[in-house]
Structure 1
Amino acid sequence: MVTDRYGNRLYECTAEGAEHLDRAVEGLLFFRPDFPNAVADAVAASPGSPLAQAFAAYLGVLGTEARDAAEARRRFAEFGAGLDHSALPRRERMHMAAAEAWLAGDMGRAGQVLEELVVECPRDPLALAVGHQLDFFTGDATRLRDRIGGALPAWAADDPHRGPLMGMYAFGLEESGHYDRAQEVGRAAVEQNPRDIWAIHAVVHVHEMRGRFAEGIDFLDARLDDWASGSLLTVHSWWHYALYALEAGDTGTALRIYDAVLHHKDSTGFVMELLDAAALLWRFLLDELDQDARWQTLADAWAARADPPFYAFNDVHAVMAFAGAGRLETADEFVADRRRWLESQKEERPNTNRVMTGEIGLPVCEALVAYVRGDYASVVELLWPIRRRLHTFGGSHAQRDAIQRTLLEAAIRARRDDLARLLLGERTGLSPHSPYNWLGQARLADALGEAGRAAVARATASELAAPAAARLSRNPHHM
């Protein structure tokens, strides 16, 4: 029986298939755009390999594209139809079970199976990487951290693939609030592998959460050749750069990034890219900066997808685009479609998206539409009860902040001064270096007639934004 490069035995797999699997796993760890080709090569070389088939199934759901998932579900069912699962080695059987659960819509079960697998086989990078993404998609920050942290002692310091695991660990540390440790681990991973985009991404998130935007710009500028192209995370990394620019008050830089990278005539239309485009434009909308032409083009792209219900996090960003473009009837019908789907669902088997949609997705979608209609009181009524549970429908703190900002802006506009004060206190306490938070303090003070407090808050925001703005003015971000 052949083994992979990590010493794991491979059932019904040829030596050629093992080589392709090794290449596919490495590509997944480093977010290389061609790693799906390696998965296809592994299946072609060893069509009877359960691990190759499970990897192909994971590939069908990792992109959160409903049509890819449907095709993967069909192929996986064909493979499993005549398979004697009881004859499989335990590792392969568990990968098959995890893939089957995810394809069936039970993301929690899939993540649990992979967690159990890693207990027995901590040197299974496929189980670790796929499980890590499942934790991200379900917003489970503790597992995002500990799934990787628990397995790291099984990887020698000189193992060439310990680095990307450290990058994953850094991201889990950041999402669970351990910023010092996240930066330490993330930077160590980048030192091992300068093009480890997930590790770079983790450090970028640390700067975002701390409000250290000038440092974030310096970090990204120093590594431009390592992240700005040639990765599955290229667009998302530029999105982070645009967030830094917005915080510095440099809307021109943010829009140049949008037009050059996030959404343009040659964009792929992949949902992951459309998410970033919608989330950036929504921040402009919250700041009352008109971007109608961009909204219309983006809404067209979302409409062309005609996505069925699959992942509530994606649905929210589709509604963001429709509402931002002023297509409120389209947004209303989209929400109604998801509500009809939810009501039609049967409870016989677990479905993660059903829970996400009912508990978080629909209220958030309705709040976005209400915000554009100017019904700020309804926005507060919809978002306030779920604001501490938004993580349960996936994404990162930085991504979900668009929704948290929507609640804050609605509270200010609805003159819910008590809630606005509380929200701003929370935000400023966690990120005292964020100009946005201090500008919010200034607006609330204005509403309360506290001119002196407002002036101090605006001066603080200006002082905090200045270093990042200066860096951007010296280096107009390579666009």
Structure 2
Amino acid sequence: MSVDRHGQVMTDTGAAAVRHYEQALEDLLFFRGEVSGQVGAVLEASPRSAMGHVFRAYLGLLGTEEKDAAEAAAAFTAFRQGIDAGGLSVRERLHTEAASCWLAGDLHRAGRLLGDLVVAHPKDVLALAVGHQIDFFTGNAVLLRDRIGGALAAWDREDPHYGLLRGMYAFGLEEAGHYTLAEQVGLEAVERNARDVWGIHAVVHALEMQGRHEDGIAYLDARTEAWSAGNYLNVHNWWHYALYLLETGRTDKVLAVYDAALHHDGSAGAAMELLDAAALLWRLYLAGADTGGRWPVLADAWARRGDGPHYAFNDVHAVMAYVGAARTGDAQRLIRERERWLREAGAGPSNVSMTAEIGLPVCRALVAYGQRRYAEVVDLLLPLRYRFQEFGGSHAQRDALQKTLVEAALHAGRYDLGRALLSERISLRSRCPYNQRAWARLTAGRRPGSG
């Protein structure tokens, strides 16, 4: 019976397959494109490897790509039909069940199962990494922090993966509001592994949430070679770089980053890349900036995907693109399709509540904003502003929605609400240029606190 280097049983997995599995874990933690090839090599060497099949299923889900998930579901169903689950270890059975739940659309139960698993097996790197991403997709800041934090004490600090786990922990700390500690832990993680792009990403988030945009630019500039290419996270980290530039008023450079890294003729059209592109252009849209002909091109890219109801967070960004391109009909068509799906879907998939309670109201608000029905935008977004996290993403990503609410309040003449919203923001991030500029616009329209 084979075991991995942490002593965990690998049923029907030979020594060569275990070596490929370990390399696949390494590639996953560093967000390298080679991870898929290594998982394929696991199954080529040991076609019945339970953990090889589990890993392949997770890879089909992590990109939030509907077609990849469907292919993974078909392959994993065939695997489960051909095995005796009783012959697997308890850990492997939990992984198998977690993967099956996620493939069936229940992200929350998959995350709970992986949480149970790591209590008994805190050195299961795959369970920790996949669970961490599920916490991100479901917007659970406390679990982003504590899932990793609860396992760290079981790890030897000299283990090669320990620093990478600390990089994950740094991101969880940031999302849970511990910005100073997140920055410290993230810096230490990157000191251990210069190419820990998730650790770099955690530091970038911590600086963003403190309004330290110039520091963020300097941090990324100092290690461009480590993060800017050759990994699955490079487009997203370029997005962060562009956010820093936008906050510091360098719109021309923002668009240069957009064209070079976020969306161009060579872009793969992956949901996560298009999401970042839409999120950046939407911030420019809110600012009234000229984005040239970029919106129609991006809207075409979303339309070519033909996505069904797979992940509401993606739907919202598709609607941003349609509204930005003045393709209101496409945005409303997507909304109608999701409404029809909800009538038929039942209560099982996590995306049902994500769509019904957050995604659709936000999509309607975006359409209303594009049509300058600002009072309606406020009515739709205000009840949700403390719940946006329920459909996933990070604070930095969801801030586009918070800014949409602020802008709608100012446009609608809801100055008391605008004052309260901006006071909240300034109290947390006094150094944020957007907050200061919006406050200046508010005071020019009406003296805060009057009437």
Whether the TM-score (by the shorter chain) exceeds 0.5 is yes
Match in the other structure for 2:73: 73
Match in the other structure for 1:330: 330
Asked if 1:346 corresponds to 2:341, the answer is no
CA contact (8 A) 1:292 1:325 kept: no
Identity of aligned residues (%): 56
Match in the other structure for 1:30: 30
Q: Which amino acid aligns with 1:227?
A: W
Match in the other structure for 2:17: 17
CA contact (8 A) 2:255 2:291 kept: no
Instruction: String of CA shifts for 1:142-170, please: whole Å, max 9, x gaps.
Output: 00000000101111111111011000000
Q: Which amino acid aligns with 1:7?
A: G
Q: Give the Cα–Cα distance (whole angstroms) in 2 for the partners of residues 429 and 33 of structure 1.
A: 41
Asked if 1:143 corresponds to 2:150, the answer is no
Match in the other structure for 1:409: 407
Q: Give the Cα–Cα distance (whole angstroms) in 1 for the partners of residues 6 and 180 of structure 2.
A: 31
Deviation larger for 143-152 or 286-295: 286-295
SS in 1 for 2:194: coil
CA contact (8 A) 1:2 1:9 kept: yes
Match in the other structure for 1:469: none
Instruction: String of CA shifts for 1:366-413, please: whole Å, max 9, x gaps.
Output: 000100000000100100001100000000000000111000000000
- 1:60-459 paired onto structure 2 within 5 Å: 60-347=60-347, 350-448=348-446
Q: Give the Cα–Cα distance (whole angstroms) in 2 for the partners of residues 384 and 40 of structure 1.
A: 47
Q: Which runs of 5+ in 1 are unaligned?
A: 454-479
Q: Which amino acid aligns with 2:276?
A: D
In the TM superposition, what is the alpha-carbon distance from 1:45 to its structure 2 partner? 1.3
Q: Segments of 4+ in structure 1 off by > 6 A?
A: none
Q: Give the Cα–Cα distance (whole angstroms) in 1 for the partners of residues 184 and 302 of structure 2.
A: 39
State the number of aligned residues. 449
Q: Give the TM-score normalised by structure 2.
A: 0.98
Q: Give the Cα–Cα distance (whole angstroms) in 1 for the partners of residues 49 and 108 of structure 2.
A: 25
SS in 1 for 2:3: coil
Instruction: String of CA shifts for 1:57-88, please: whole Å, max 9, x gaps.
Output: 00110000000000000000001013221221
CA contact (8 A) 1:28 1:35 kept: yes
Q: Give the Cα–Cα distance (whole angstroms) in 2 for the partners of residues 449 and 233 of structure 1.
A: 44
CA contact (8 A) 1:207 1:213 kept: yes
Q: Give the Cα–Cα distance (whole angstroms) in 2 for the partners of residues 343 and 410 of structure 1.
A: 30
RMSD: 1.0
Q: Give the Cα–Cα distance (whole angstroms) in 2 for the partners of residues 104 and 291 of structure 1.
A: 39
Instruction: String of CA shifts for 1:71-125, please: whole Å, max 9, x gaps.
Output: 0000000010132212211011010000000000000100000000000000000
Deviation larger for 225-234 or 79-88: 79-88
Q: Give the Cα–Cα distance (whole angstroms) in 2 for the partners of residues 144 and 262 of structure 1.
A: 26
Q: Which amino acid aligns with 1:259?
A: D
Q: Give the Cα–Cα distance (whole angstroms) in 2 for the partners of residues 136 and 72 of structure 1.
A: 21
Q: Give the Cα–Cα distance (whole angstroms) in 1 for the partners of residues 222 and 447 of structure 2.
A: 44
Q: Give the Cα–Cα distance (whole angstroms) in 1 for the partners of residues 291 and 368 of structure 2.
A: 19
In the TM superposition, what is the alpha-carbon distance from 1:292 to its structure 2 partner? 4.6
Match in the other structure for 1:41: 41
Q: Give the Cα–Cα distance (whole angstroms) in 1 for the partners of residues 63 and 397 of structure 2.
A: 16
Q: Give the Cα–Cα distance (whole angstroms) in 1 for the partners of residues 290 and 303 of structure 2.
A: 21
Q: Which runs of 5+ in 2 are unaligned?
A: none
Match in the other structure for 1:465: none
Q: Give the TM-score normalised by structure 1.
A: 0.93
